[in-house]
Structure 1
């Protein structure tokens, strides 16, 4: 059985169980796929710099004061990176609580190692050491797992739906996401874009990083990075699951989502896959009319301004 198919079958089976997210978390921890690594940390620190560069470009070099990340995930490296970079109020939201104070303690301890501090220096430049000490103290002293304790530092973790962000959260200078949009069904994504743009301050904006590669490729490099484009929608529905949903949208389709949501696109930075990725897969007819340039966009950062 191909590696990708084994992973898909395993996750589909888990997704049908009660408490599927907890079980999936346990399985991934046991398999080592949720362990912190320098590769993961560097990837997220690069994301912090990418978003801050986009925001500072909008604000003529000034640091945004209030930012929201959509899609907290298991280890909130990006919110902490924004906090250490000097953003006064950092908010991060997800539809369910995946992170915990224990995981943040683990993350902060890892950030304290010489190897990772070197990465902080490389990607964040003059990050705030006093803020890091305050964060260390906050997570070390807390007798509970309540993430609200970090609100005193200006880091707010919230559960919510980006389609309808609570009005009492106020407005944000900048809103970001990382590797999130590809896991959202297209109609929901349109509503999310509209909901996020509504709470952006006038003069602010958004930057969203999208991974358009078949995520099973990361577990099984033998398949093409766009392997999932060989399947019809019906065939793919038997592969996908609620724990690892992938919408398979290409960049042109994301652009259409922005247009339907009424959100302007200021610019797009993209990274293309090699042509071999396309040659290695027999495209399903629904993708055969798309331009090669569109099919081979593997990663994109879409920036909007208001």
Structure 2
């Protein structure tokens, strides 16, 4: 049996169990090795932090966001700590469950300090030396500090709540960002989340910056399939394959653009990875994907930047 099918079956079973997220973490750690903080994942998220910051500096009318909000931070808070290092005062992370831990935060801090020691951190953003010193001091005193004290020192506030009903005031957040999270949220939930983001982001000089991975995530594990494998299934078939542990909504770039348009959220800049038409045409597409432009269906990654002060106007498009 192909690896992706094995993983799909296991995660489907886990999704029905109590403490499913904790069980999945153990499965990922010891079986698929998918939760270790690899250099590839670390530097990818560091690049995202850099690009979020650049987006804000371009449209936010000041060099650093005083307040930022990230959805779906996951096990390793690389981007939130990056914003601490550049001087953000309040860093919110919203998720349906608390996925990180004291140990995983320590791993993240150690990785960032190593990156600095190698002279690579400065290549991503201009960190504040005194903030880096705080992270180093935290590591020196780590065993004597509680998780709450560590998060407080890093200006990070976890919001474990429904992102459709945030506890934040309207018009209060400078920057809202995400990193390959939207593809794991079904449209009936994503749309009200985006509407809520539209409520809490500042209307003058507020910015949204969202990276979306449109590839079949099972292909990251199994080289026998390509990144469009999941597009061959009907919605009913995919419902049986998909799971609540790591759901994949299969939305394409045109679907996301429609959501933005319906909610009147501007796309001031968009960049995308064209994908591979040759690989896409190897797949017998399900009916819902057949009548769409193949070039758009093939796009595998995209990045949308929204200048909230400018509700209208043409967007700039770049390929990555």
Q: TM-score, normalised by structure 2?
A: 0.89
CA deviations on 1:60-115 (whole Å, 9 max, x unpaired) are 46222211111110001010111112223222111110001221012212223258
CA contact (8 A) 1:42 1:119 kept: no
Q: Judge which range, 265-274 or 229-238, deviates more.
A: 265-274
Classify the secondary structure of the residue corresponding to 1:207. Answer: strand
- Whole-angstrom distance in 2 between the partners of 1:239 and 1:95: 22
Kept after mapping to 1: 8 A contact 2:94/2:158: yes
Partner of 2:162, secondary structure, is coil
- Cα offsets for 1:100-149 (capped at 9, x unmatched): 1221012212223258743322222x322321221233353464653464
**Aligned counterpart, 2:226:** 224
Tell me if structure 1 keeps the 8 A contact 2:172–2:200.
yes
SS in 1 for 2:159: strand
1:135 aligned onto 2:135: yes
Unaligned runs of 5+ in 1: none
Structural mapping, 1:21-40, within 5 Å: 21-31=21-31, 32-40=33-41
- What displacement does 1:156 show? 1.8
Q: Distance in 2 between matches of 1:181 and 1:116?
A: 33
1:237 counterpart residue number:
239
1: CA distance, partners of 2:304 / 2:117: 28
Tell me: CA distance 1:261–1:147, structure 2 relative to 1, closer, same or farther (3 Å): farther
Contact kept, 8 Å, 1:191 with 1:261, in 2: the verdict is no
**Corresponding residue of 2:185:** 184
Unmatched 5+ residue regions in structure 2? 309-320
1:229-282 CA deviation, whole Å, 9 max, x = no partner? 100001001110010100000011111112232322222111110212212211
Q: Which moved more, 1:140-149 or 1:223-232?
A: 140-149
Between 1:285-294 and 1:271-280, the stretch displaced more is 271-280
Residue 46 (structure 1) aligns with: 47
1:106 corresponds to 2:107? yes
Work out whether 1:9 is the aligned partner of 2:24. Answer: no
Which one is further off, 223-232 or 156-165? 156-165
Aligned partner of 2:266 in structure 1 is: 264
Distance change (3 Å), C-alpha of 1:167 and 1:79: closer
Superposed displacement of residue 160, structure 1: 1.8
SS in 1 for 2:124: helix
Tell me if structure 1 keeps the 8 A contact 2:214–2:251.
yes
- What is the CA RMSD across the aligned residues, in angstroms? 1.9
- In the TM superposition, 1:252-291 aligns within 5 A as 252-291=254-293
* 2:306 corresponds to: 304
Which shows bigger deviation, 236-245 or 99-108? 99-108
- Number of equivalenced pairs: 305
